A and B are shown apart, each in its own frame.
Chain A
Amino acid sequence: MKERLQELQAEALQKVEEAVSLKELNDIRVSYLGKKGPITEVLRGMGKLSAEERPVIGSLANEVREAIAQHIEAKQANLEEAAIAEKLAAEKIDVTLPGNPVRSGSKHPLTKVIEEIEDLFISMGYAVAEGPEVEKDYYNFEALNLPKGHPARDMQDSFYITDEILLRTHTSPVQARTMEKHQSKGPVKIICPGKVYRRDNDDATHSHQFMQIEGLVIDENIRMSDLKGTLDVFAKKMFGEDREIRLRPSFFPFTEPSVEMDISCKVCGGRGCSVCKGTGWIEILGAGMVHPNVLEMAGFDSKKYSGFAFGMGPERIAMLKYGVDDIRHFYTNDIRFLKQFSKHEE
């Protein structure tokens, strides 16, 4: 009987070892360990054994049963693992195929530049002021020390609607309006972005409509050196810490003294190249100390208050920053153009 059990064990283990599917394994379990299986049969015949032999064979039978069960279990785990692996292998995909595109648009490059400048000045305590694009001659010119017949009106040939109403030629009327409303109540610190219009034929460097962004600071004791310092901060933050600025005398009717600001050319590092037309400098903006007539007309006492103002063109800045060669691109809105400005920049 003992031999029979050992034989059964060997035979069962052999079969378990050879089993290749879970079903086969289950069949082995049923055939060896089931109620009608050979081990049960052996145990049934135990009545014929002596009292000494019975526990020995009983315990052996249990051991055999245990061993077979253990092997089946182990084999089952093996087979299950293999089945999963096989399934996963069948599920393999090509991870190099493109993912599902996430739709995303982007800001217009001019908005990008304007918001960058806005945020820079906001961090220095400026508010953003806006005003109408169609203006009164008074705010566009007269309040800015440009009376009718002033030769400087030629500098910005304008689109008039009537004798008194025109498309603003700069965003300076917003300054005039802000000052007038403000009436000497504490300091003024604003920047004014917006669209402006001039009688120019559209070509690679001219546009009858373009953007401007101007700044104005008025307080007691504002000095020209403060203007220089402010522009220095602006130039370094906007164009890079390694940039130098240079102020050149200029003329604007609403500021005195007036200057133009150049920054050192990034392309050639100041040695002179085609981008800076050999000068090593690139013109960025116009600025100056607010003309006393402008202060007085807006109700500020020019003996007590002083201020500075500056103005620049986002198109020009965008063209320099991104190397855009034709101002018309900003208004043509070719989608292949717009798509190039969607990245975040350092």
Chain B
Amino acid sequence: MFVSYRWLQEYVDLSGISPEELAEKITKSGIEVEGVEKKSEGLKGVVVGHVLEKEKHPEADKLNKCLVDLGQENPVQIICGAANVDKGQKVAVATVGAVLPGNFKIKKAKLRGEESNGMICSLQELGIEPKVVAKDYSSGIFVFPSDAEVGQDAFSLLGLDDSILELGLTPNRADAMSMLGVAYEVAAILGREVKWPQIEEHASAEDASEYISVNVEAKEDNPLYVAKVIKDVKIGPSPLWMQTLLMNSGIRPHNNIVDITNYVLLEYGQPLHAFDYDKIGSKEILVRKASEGEKIVTLDETERTLKADHLVITNGSEPIALAGVMGGANSEVGSDTTTVLLESAYFTGGVIRKASKDHGLRSEASSRYEKGVDPNRVRQSAERAADLMAKYAAGTVLKGSVTSDSLQAEPAVVSITLDKINKVLGTELQITQIKDIFERLQFAAVVEGQEITVTVPTRRGDITIEEDLIEEVARLYGYDNLPVTLPVAETVPGGLTPYQLKRRRVRSFLEGAGLYQAVTYSLTTDEKAGQYSLEKADTIRLAMPMSEERSTLRLSITPQLLEILKYNLARQNDSIAIYETGSVFLKTEEDELPIEKEQLAGALTGLWHSQLWQGEKKPVDFYVAKGVLEGLFTELGLAGTVTYLPADIAGMHPGRTAEIKLNGEPIGFVGQVHPSVQKEMDLKDTFVFELSLQSILQAQAEPIAYESIPRFPSITRDIALVVNSETAAGDIYGIILEAGGKLLKEVSIFDLYEGDRMEQGKKSVAFSLKYLDPERTLTDEEVTKAHNKVLKAVEEKTGATLRG
């Protein structure tokens, strides 16, 4: 809502308060003023000029040579390219030395050999937004009314030196969508009076009811409809002052009748509509629900197909307006209109909101109806507009109004005690202070002991309960004056849950291990949403996505991380290690919530470690990625319960991917991205993992149990085993551990050889076995006995031979 400071003064005395001070006060007590703008700030030198002569430029077809009187001694010659410039016009002239928006300075110039002493301006050139410039002037210069005084400051005449306050209205403050509403607010803040416009009564001989009947079928959506008839109107431009106020409020001037309806809409907050009476085609107004599929062409020349829950104004059969949203083209007021049917109606918010949304059409009218208008201004607004039509369109207002009225508009009565107010706010206010605040708001307040009963005017439909009154008290008392305290309450234990605590630990571990945390979008493409999914589930698509790119909820995090890698690689960030924890979404039943699972994913590419001057370079490989996870599982006390098995997963390298199992249950995977995917996405060798974070956080950790430090020496035996290439080292490891008995304390793999000196299809894996008895020193014989058992088991189960 744009509020003209100058216009506001008509409704409330603003003496002694600058626009900026006013903005600050309004902001602090309830409505955020998002800006104060004075369009003419920094501009100068534009005056009203009188075009005395106009002839074609001798050298240029499209230019005109004008002689313009600027109110100075001698008229000046100005070359003007506008097609609509003409002799006798009063125009806005930027004189030599003028400054226009964009710091455009006007200088004396020669155009095709002819001298030009200034520029005749369009409204756009003076800084007015094109969308509010009247159509007549949208592609040419602006022409002032003939009574404009030559030499007068044009900025002032166009209201460009007015300060415009931009209010950021919250949905509850529909009352401030009008000048009068803002006036009430300002009056309450300043403790001043509200001045209402004077409306003149018109009593012609003819009665409006002779011209029209009003019948409302949909009374629930339209409890009040007021029609007035104004005859013999003369269509023309509205007065300049009215046009400038409309433009300053963001509304384009059309003609006097339409401008008056918009002016009163801004003044009272009540939407009005003017029909060309003669085009209605009947003497009847019927308000009803549209029939499904019914069509109407609205004022914006768009054909709209209606639904059964839209409300229409009809002439008894055909729709002539989409109620509360926009009028119909078939009954539009135009230059030949002589009789106007003026509509002022109360439509309920829901029905207007629906139509506005369905047609993607928000108008000044619909945005007010949606939030609720004041039912007690419907009749007044009609009278005000009729009066203005008599004054500025030479109309004859017919006697009376034709109405359909089933409206119940009782003001809300809310009682509250002083104690309640002080208890909620933490204040120690007195009853007189409270009463004073309500009086400033012009709410009738009756005090009985400690109780105060407030009758809330219908303009403030947002106030219905005690808490609403408390807010009024708080904001006018001032939040700055509120005491500062802390809750005095029973102490409850705060803190993180074990799950949350562990999750933080997972993150810190991964960060300590060298991975950066990423945060990506949950919405992705249909295609990517299902890739690398750990679960067999359908994806979930939005009903109305904004783009295909963000249309579907992800089932896995890996595709998002690959995108990040791609983005970074394209920017020469070659070595990247990132991880993300976040939710994935598994479809269940229609209209049921999906299952949300928290997962952990990581992606690594490029160098893992490098110390260039020492010639060390370690690229990321499968074992780096796996090592990170092994470290994590150790950190979480799960190392002993996790196993890795070769796996074939779509999008992953078939020979370099492992499924991860926790206590035998699959929880995720780790491996290299399939080379074809890497190529397609312009990635280098990329290693990823994704697993169920919930599974690892909820798994029981192995408890910490102290073992005494051994006092006896251990004995280490190394063996190199030749096995078939396919035999998994992990399997041999398991066999050794199992066969080693209780003396075998540690097994580690220290060498792997596959190559020329090996028989085809064989490889050598070397293990180091550490034997220890915590109770005594082991003898060589005991170790040999245990060790032979190990060798025998490995030989039997894998066909391994000792490497000679």
Query: A residues near B, CB below 8 A?
Result: 97-98, 100-101, 103-108, 110-111, 115, 118, 121-128, 130, 132-136, 149, 151-152, 154-155, 159-165, 167, 186-187, 189, 195, 197, 199, 201, 208-209, 217, 219-226, 228-230, 232-233, 246-251, 256-260, 289, 291-292, 306, 330-336, 338-339
Are the CB atoms of B520 and A331 closer together than 8 Å? yes
User: When the two chains form the complex, which single residue of B32, B468, B479, B540 contacts A161, counting CB atoms closer than 8 Å?
Assistant: B540
In the bound assembly, the distance between CA atoms of A230 and B486 in angstroms comes to 6
* Contact status of A225 and B485, CB under 8 A, knowing A125-B492, A160-B544, A186-B492: yes
Are the CB atoms of B496 and A125 closer together than 8 Å? no
Q: Which residues of chain B come closer than 8 Å to A125, judged between CB atoms? A: 491-494
List B residues 463-489 near A (Cβ within 8 Å). 465-468, 470-471, 474-475, 479-480, 482-489
In the bound assembly, the distance between CA atoms of A267 and B467 in angstroms comes to 37
Are the CB atoms of B479 and A249 closer together than 8 Å? yes
Q: Which residues of chain A come closer than 8 Å to B583, judged between CB atoms? A: 133, 195
From B31, B480, B593, residue with most partner A Cβ within 10 Å: B593
Interface of B is mostly: mixed
Interface presence of B423 (CB below 8 A): yes
Interface presence of B709 (CB below 8 A): no
Q: Can you spell out 6 A-B residue pairs with CB atoms less than 8 angstroms apart?
A: A107-B517, A122-B494, A133-B596, A151-B353, A187-B492, A332-B564
* Contact status of A134 and B585, CB under 8 A, knowing A108-B519, A159-B542, A225-B427: yes
Are the CB atoms of A223 and B426 closer together than 8 Å? yes
- CB closest chain-B residue, reference A162: B591
From A195, A217, A224, residue with most partner B Cβ within 10 Å: A224
Are the CB atoms of A225 and B484 closer together than 8 Å? yes
Interface presence of B409 (CB below 8 A): no
Return the 5 tightest CB-CB contacts between A and B, nearest first: A225-B426, A103-B514, A251-B170, A223-B426, A257-B471
- CB closest chain-A residue, reference B495: A122
Q: Which residues of chain B come closer than 8 Å to A98, judged between CB atoms? A: 611, 613
User: When the two chains form the complex, which single residue of A232, A251, A259, A292 contacts B465, counting CB atoms closer than 8 Å?
Assistant: A292
Q: Which residues of chain A come closer than 8 Å to B493, judged between CB atoms? A: 125, 127
CB distance from A146 to the nearest CB of B (A): 10
Interface string of B611-654 (1 = CB under 8 A from A): 10110000000000000000000000000000000000000000
Are the CB atoms of A334 and B571 closer together than 8 Å? yes
* Interface contacts beyond A134-B540, A160-B542, A189-B489: sample of 18 additional A-B pairs, CB < 8 Å, sorted by A: A103-B608, A108-B518, A132-B593, A133-B522, A134-B596, A149-B353, A151-B370, A159-B544, A161-B542, A225-B426, A225-B483, A229-B484, A248-B27, A257-B470, A257-B471, A257-B474, A306-B424, A331-B520
User: When the two chains form the complex, which single residue of B28, B350, B513, B522 contacts A103, counting CB atoms closer than 8 Å?
Assistant: B513
Are the CB atoms of B497 and A335 closer together than 8 Å? no
Are the CB atoms of B482 and A111 closer together than 8 Å? no
In the bound assembly, the distance between CA atoms of A130 and B581 in angstroms comes to 14
In the bound assembly, the distance between CA atoms of A161 and B497 in angstroms comes to 31
* Contact status of A258 and B471, CB under 8 A, knowing A228-B479, A246-B480: yes
In the bound assembly, the distance between CA atoms of A123 and B424 in angstroms comes to 25
Interface presence of B794 (CB below 8 A): no
In the bound assembly, the distance between CA atoms of A151 and B291 in angstroms comes to 26
In the bound assembly, the distance between CA atoms of A127 and B602 in angstroms comes to 29
CB distance from A42 to the nearest CB of B (A): 56
Q: Which residues of chain A come closer than 8 Å to B171, judged between CB atoms? A: 151-152, 154-155, 251
Interface presence of B516 (CB below 8 A): yes
In the bound assembly, the distance between CA atoms of A217 and B518 in angstroms comes to 32
Interface string of B24-61 (1 = CB under 8 A from A): 00011111100000000000000000000000000000
Are the CB atoms of A134 and B594 closer together than 8 Å? yes
Interface string of B167-195 (1 = CB under 8 A from A): 00011110000000000000000000000
Interface presence of B577 (CB below 8 A): yes
- CB closest chain-B residue, reference A103: B514
Are the CB atoms of B494 and A256 closer together than 8 Å? no
In the bound assembly, the distance between CA atoms of A259 and B432 in angstroms comes to 25
Q: Which residues of chain A come closer than 8 Å to B516, judged between CB atoms? A: 105-106, 108, 333, 335, 338-339
CB distance from A286 to the nearest CB of B (A): 10
Are the CB atoms of B482 and A247 closer together than 8 Å? yes
User: When the two chains form the complex, which single residue of A100, A111, A256 contacts B467, counting CB atoms closer than 8 Å?
Assistant: A256
Are the CB atoms of A128 and B497 closer together than 8 Å? yes
Q: Which residues of chain B come closer than 8 Å to A162, judged between CB atoms? A: 543, 590-591
Interface presence of B490 (CB below 8 A): yes
Q: Which residues of chain A come closer than 8 Å to B614, judged between CB atoms? A: 100
Interface presence of B371 (CB below 8 A): yes
List B residues 486-544 near A (Cβ within 8 Å). 486-497, 500, 504, 507, 510-523, 540-544
Are the CB atoms of B567 and A333 closer together than 8 Å? yes
Indicate the size class of the contact surface on chain B: 35 or more
* Contact status of A225 and B482, CB under 8 A, knowing A132-B593, A165-B591, A186-B490: yes
Are the CB atoms of A251 and B172 closer together than 8 Å? yes
* Contact status of A257 and B475, CB under 8 A, knowing A154-B171, A221-B488, A229-B484: yes
In the bound assembly, the distance between CA atoms of A285 and B553 in angstroms comes to 29
Q: Which residues of chain A come closer than 8 Å to B479, judged between CB atoms? A: 228, 246-249, 259
CB distance from B724 to the nearest CB of A (A): 36
Q: Which residues of chain B come closer than 8 Å to A103, judged between CB atoms? A: 513-514, 577, 608-609
Interface presence of B157 (CB below 8 A): no
In the bound assembly, the distance between CA atoms of A233 and B515 in angstroms comes to 34
Interface presence of B762 (CB below 8 A): no
User: When the two chains form the complex, which single residue of B490, B517, B553, B585 contacts A105, counting CB atoms closer than 8 Å?
Assistant: B517
In the bound assembly, the distance between CA atoms of A155 and B120 in angstroms comes to 44
Are the CB atoms of A136 and B593 closer together than 8 Å? yes
User: When the two chains form the complex, which single residue of B426, B466, B550, B553 contacts A134, counting CB atoms closer than 8 Å?
Assistant: B553
List B residues 87-136 near A (Cβ within 8 Å). none
In the bound assembly, the distance between CA atoms of A223 and B419 in angstroms comes to 12
In the bound assembly, the distance between CA atoms of A228 and B426 in angstroms comes to 10
In the bound assembly, the distance between CA atoms of A135 and B550 in angstroms comes to 18
Q: Which residues of chain A come closer than 8 Å to B370, judged between CB atoms? A: 151
- CB closest chain-B residue, reference A283: B32
- CB closest chain-A residue, reference B517: A108
* Contact status of A226 and B487, CB under 8 A, knowing A105-B515, A135-B593: yes
Interface presence of B576 (CB below 8 A): yes
From A134, A195, A257, residue with most partner B Cβ within 10 Å: A257
CB distance from B219 to the nearest CB of A (A): 19
- CB closest chain-A residue, reference B561: A333
- CB closest chain-A residue, reference B427: A225
In the bound assembly, the distance between CA atoms of A289 and B479 in angstroms comes to 13
User: When the two chains form the complex, which single residue of A101, A123, A154, A292 contacts B609, counting CB atoms closer than 8 Å?
Assistant: A101
Are the CB atoms of B514 and A104 closer together than 8 Å? yes
Interface presence of B138 (CB below 8 A): no
- CB closest chain-B residue, reference A131: B596
Interface presence of B205 (CB below 8 A): no
Interface presence of B557 (CB below 8 A): no
CB distance from B553 to the nearest CB of A (A): 7
Are the CB atoms of B611 and A101 closer together than 8 Å? yes
User: When the two chains form the complex, which single residue of A233, A257, A330, A339 contacts B486, counting CB atoms closer than 8 Å?
Assistant: A233
- CB closest chain-A residue, reference B471: A257
Are the CB atoms of A338 and B517 closer together than 8 Å? yes
Q: Which residues of chain A come closer than 8 Å to B540, judged between CB atoms? A: 134, 161
Interface presence of B573 (CB below 8 A): yes
CB distance from A201 to the nearest CB of B (A): 7
In the bound assembly, the distance between CA atoms of A256 and B471 in angstroms comes to 7
- CB closest chain-B residue, reference A151: B171
Q: Which residues of chain B come closer than 8 Å to A111, judged between CB atoms? A: 507, 517, 519
CB distance from B602 to the nearest CB of A (A): 10
* Contact status of A164 and B591, CB under 8 A, knowing A134-B585, A222-B487: yes
Q: Which residues of chain A come closer than 8 Å to B484, judged between CB atoms? A: 225, 228-229, 232
CB distance from A39 to the nearest CB of B (A): 51
From B171, B541, B614, residue with most partner A Cβ within 10 Å: B171
* Contact status of A226 and B485, CB under 8 A, knowing A108-B518, A134-B553, A209-B521: yes
Interface presence of B349 (CB below 8 A): yes
Are the CB atoms of B494 and A124 closer together than 8 Å? yes
Q: Which residues of chain A come closer than 8 Å to B522, judged between CB atoms? A: 133, 167, 195, 197, 209
